[in-house]
Amino acid sequence: MDNKNFVLKARKKVKEGLSIDDLIRKLIAFSDSLEKGENTLFEQLNDLYFLYYPEAANKLKERDVFIKELKEACNREDVSKKLGISIESMGYDLQDDEIQLLSLSINEINNISDLRKIVSERLSEIIKKNYPNLTAVLGSEITARMIYLAGSAYSLMLMPSSKIQVLGAEKAMFAARRKKATPKYGIIYNHELVISTPDKLKGKVSKVIAAYSSLAAKTDVLSKEDKSSKIIEKMMKDISKARTKNGT
């Protein structure tokens, strides 16, 4: 075999080894990096701005409010009019160049936030198209995170439901060894049906959702048929049973 054919076959083999799950995992990692960068930038910018105008701190605590109010202008004169506070400040007087730097940084946070939304929307589209049953059971966001943590939908399919139930709780599992108290749930805790369940029943509901997540993963990977309506119907009945047995 000559070198050219060897390279072509090697490239083909690598390409065939890639899957939609690789894209999902990369997009999740990308989104996480954007979120981390956005949070870090906001914290630093927040500290810098309140060095300049500490009187505005109480009205600009929330990040979305901070960006919205300072997006157009962040000098004391304009901000004092917007927020209805005194222009007189005990803060450090910044020069025009520093104020311009603040303005550019606020716009950058806004751009990162917009990019995160675009990534999230695209990720949701990919998940719904390729894993309709898992999406129905878990929602697109938790499904994407499950695939990311498991490594692939195939690996998720092979997991027992008990493992799926605590997926994402690795740190808690490690701490539990000393306390001898196994966690009842991982990222499934963020499921709307778990959130809306009383604390004493969250473990039972998580167990039901994990069982149907396992079924949904097998259906998506093996048959690739959308049987979400039947799966959801059965899951809701079992969740109802789990709740009513405990007088809820």
Q: Note the pLDDT tens digit of each residue in 153-200.
A: 999 999 999 999 999 886 644 444 455 555 667 999 999 999 999 999
Does the pLDDT value for residue 13 go beyond 70?
no
> How far is the C-alpha of 224 from the C-alpha of 131, rounded, in Å?
8
Give percent of the chain with pLDDT exceeding 70: 85
Tell me which of 64 and 181 has the higher pLDDT. 64
Q: Report yes or no on 112 lying in a domain.
A: yes
Domain end (from 67, 93, 124) = 124
> How far is the C-alpha of 173 from the C-alpha of 154, rounded, in Å?
23
Residue 61 is predicted with a pLDDT of: 84
Residue count (the chain): 248
Identity (one letter) of the amino acid at 212? Y
Same domain, 31 and 71: yes
**What pTM does this model have?**
0.83
CATH assignment at residue 189: 1.10.246.90
Lowest mean pLDDT among 6-10, 58-62, 167-171, 192-196: 6-10
Q: Note the pLDDT tens digit of each residue in 66-121.
A: 988 898 889 999 999 999 999 999 999 999 999 999 999 999 999 999 999 999 99
Same domain, 224 and 198: yes
Residue 244 is predicted with a pLDDT of: 84
Q: Would you state the structure tokens that stand for residue 216, as one six-digit string?
A: 């949904």
Same domain, 34 and 101: yes
DSSP state of 84: T
Q: Report yes or no on 161 lying in a domain.
A: yes
Integer-rounded Cα radius of gyration of the chain: 25
Residue 16 is predicted with a pLDDT of: 55
**Angle separating helix axes 63-70 and 76-83, nearest 10 degrees:** 120
Residue 204 is predicted with a pLDDT of: 93
Residue 18 is predicted with a pLDDT of: 59
Domains of the chain: total: 2
Which region holds residue 84: left if phi is over 0, alpha if psi is between -120 and 50, else beta? Answer: left
Q: Average pLDDT, whole number, for the chain?
A: 88
Same domain, 94 and 181: no
> How far is the C-alpha of 70 from the C-alpha of 112, rounded, in Å?
16
Determine the average pLDDT of the residues in 17-23: 83
Domain end (from 94, 124, 154) = 124
Same domain, 236 and 136: yes
Q: Helices marked H in the chain — which ranges?
A: 3-17, 20-52, 63-70, 76-83, 96-130, 132-138, 140-150, 153-158, 161-165, 170-179, 192-195, 202-218, 228-244
Which region holds residue 247: left if phi is over 0, alpha if psi is between -120 and 50, else beta? Answer: left
Does the pLDDT value for residue 44 go beyond 60?
yes
Q: Would you state the structure tokens that stand for residue 98, as one six-digit string?
A: 């520093």
Tell me which of 11 and 95 has the higher pLDDT. 95
Residue 246 is predicted with a pLDDT of: 56
Report phi then psi at 145, rounded to 5: -70, -35
DSSP state of 194: H
